[in-house]
Amino acid sequence: MTSFVQQDVALQDSAGASVLQARREADDPHSPVARFGARNPLKLDAGVELSHLQIAYQTYGEPNAARSNAILVCHALTGDQHAASLNPVTGKPGWWETLVGPGKPIDTERFYVICANVLGGCMGTTGPASTNPLTGQPYGLDMPVVTIRDMVNAQAMLLDHLGIDKLLCVAGGSMGGMQVLQWAASYPERVFSALPIATGARHSAQNIAFHEVGRQAVMADPDWRGGRYLAEGVTPHRGLAVARMAAHITYMSDQSLHNKFGRRLQNRDMPTFGFDADFQVESYLRHQGESFVQRFDPNSYLYVTRAMDYFDLAADHGGVLANAFRGSKTRFCVVSFTSDWLFPTEDSRAIVHALNASGANVSFTEIDSDKGHDAFLLHEPELTAITRGFLDSAARAFGLPAARQA
C-alpha cells in the first residue's frame, strides 16, 4: 500500500507544492475545526449517517454578550471558509473582502461573522479528500453523496457547537445563496434575516448540463483512477482544469469577456496558425484552469456540483415553493444581476413571488451590471449599499445597537 509520504511526494512532483498544501488542508486546515464523534453523526439525505464529522470554519469579529450579533456567510461552489482572510493555499485575500471586514457592510467590528467550509469540500470539512477514520485512506468515492440540505444541517451542528441559537442573518451568493434559502426553509426560527444573492431555488437543466460536462472532464482524465487518485499518488489535473475553464465561462457575461479581452491576441501580432493560446481569452482560461487545480480537489468538484444539481426547494415541499417559507418570520432581501445568465433574474423573481405568496417580508433588487454571475464577488457599489442598508435595518429590528458613525 502506498504511504502518505509517497503520495505527497508524487503529488508535489506532479502538480507542485500548492497541491501538497491543499492535500494537507483537507485533514489539518489552517483554521479552527469542530469535530463530532461517532455518537453525534450527521444524518444525510442519501439515507446514511456520516460519523466522525469535521467542520473547518473561520470567524471574524467577536460575539456580543447575548451572542445575538452572529452572521453566517455561506460560500459558493469553489469558495471556502476564508471569506475575509488570506487563503493558506493561494496566499490571496479572502473571496468576499468586498463586503466582509471592519467598517464594511458585513462589519466585523459590529457583527460576529462565521463562515464554514461546506460538507464535501476540501479545505478541512469532511469531504472525499479527507481521511476516512475507518480505513486510514482518503474517502474518495466512499464518501456518501451530499446535498445542500446536508451542508446546512452540518452548519447547524457547528452553530450549536459555537453556542449560537439564532442568526441575525444568513448571507451568500450562488451556491451560497442556495444554502441561505435552505437555512430559511429548514431552520426559520434560527434565521432573523436572509440575503440570497445571484441564486435560484433549484438548479436549471442548463446548469446541470454544464456541471455534467465538468464532471465528465474530470472522470475522463486517466489519472482520475476511479476516484482513487490520492491513494495512487496522482491527480487528474488536466480534467479538472478543463472543467474549471468551462465553468468559468458561465461566471462571466459576453459583455465582460468582450470588455476584458475582445479578440486581442496574446503577446503576438499575428496568429500562429496552430493550437497554442493565440487569443488573450484562451490564455486567461488556461490560467484559470491551471491555478484552480492547485487549490481544489477533483472529487470535491464532483460532489459539490452534484449537491447543487440535486437542489430543488419546491420539490421538498409538495412542488410548491411558497410552502417552503409558509409562516416564516424571516426578513428577506433577494438580489440579482442583469447580465447573470447562470442564475438569471427570473430565478430570483420566482423566489420573490413564492415569498410574497407565503406572506414573508421580502425586498428585491435587480442590479444593472455587465459583470455576469461573478458580480456578487466583485466591487459593485449598489450591492454594497443594499447589503449595508439591509443589515442595518435587520440589526435595529433585532435589538442591536446602531452602527457607529465614521
At 365-404, the pLDDT tens digits run: 999 999 999 999 999 999 999 999 999 999 999 999 988 7
- Characterize the bridge pairing of strands 193-197 and 331-337: parallel
**Which residues carry a binding-site annotation for substrate?**
244, 374
| Domain encompassing residue 90 | 1-398
CB 259 within 8 A of CB 223: no
Can you give the pLDDT at residue 207? Answer: 97
The answer to whether position 329 is within a domain reads yes
Determine which one of 75, 82, 211, 373 is catalytic.
373
H or E stretch at 386: helix 381-397
Q: Which of 107, 150, 221, 340 is catalytic?
A: 340
Q: Residue 403: inside a domain, yes or no?
A: no
| Residue 278 among the catalytic residues | no
pLDDT at 11 over 50: no
Is 340 known to be catalytic? yes
Residue 349 has pLDDT above 90, yes or no: yes
With respect to residue 258, please indicate whether it lies within any of the assigned structural domains.
yes
Asked whether the beta carbons of 120 and 142 are under 8 A apart, the reply is no
Sheet architecture: strand order including 53-60: 33-36, 53-60, 112-116, 70-74, 169-173, 193-197, 331-337, 361-367
Does residue 162 fall inside a structural domain? yes
CATH number of the domain where residue 159 is located: 3.40.50.1820
User: Is 405 inside any structural domain?
Assistant: no
Residue 13 above 60 pLDDT?
A: no
* Nearest CA among 238, 256, 241 for reference residue 372: 256
Considering the candidates 31, 85, 174, 369, report the single residue annotated as catalytic: 174
Q: ∠ at Cα 236 (233, 238), nearest 5°?
A: 140
Query: What pLDDT, in 10s, does the model give residues 25-78?
Result: 999 999 999 999 999 999 999 999 999 999 999 999 999 999 999 999 999 999
Is residue 161 part of the annotated active site? The answer reads no
pTM: 0.93
* Residue 404 is assigned to a structural domain of this protein: no
Cβ atoms of 373 and 198 closer than 8 Å: yes
For residue 367, report the phi and psi dihedrals to the nearest 5 degrees.
-90, 130
388: in domain: yes
Q: What is the spatial distance between Cα 54 and Cα 371, in angstroms, rounded to a whole number?
A: 36
When divided into structural domains, the chain yields a total of 1
State the first-to-last Cα distance of the chain, in angstroms, to the nearest integer: 61
Residue whose C-alpha is closest to residue 324's, from 315, 334, 311, 333: 315
Q: Are 127 and 303 in contact (CB under 8 A)?
A: yes
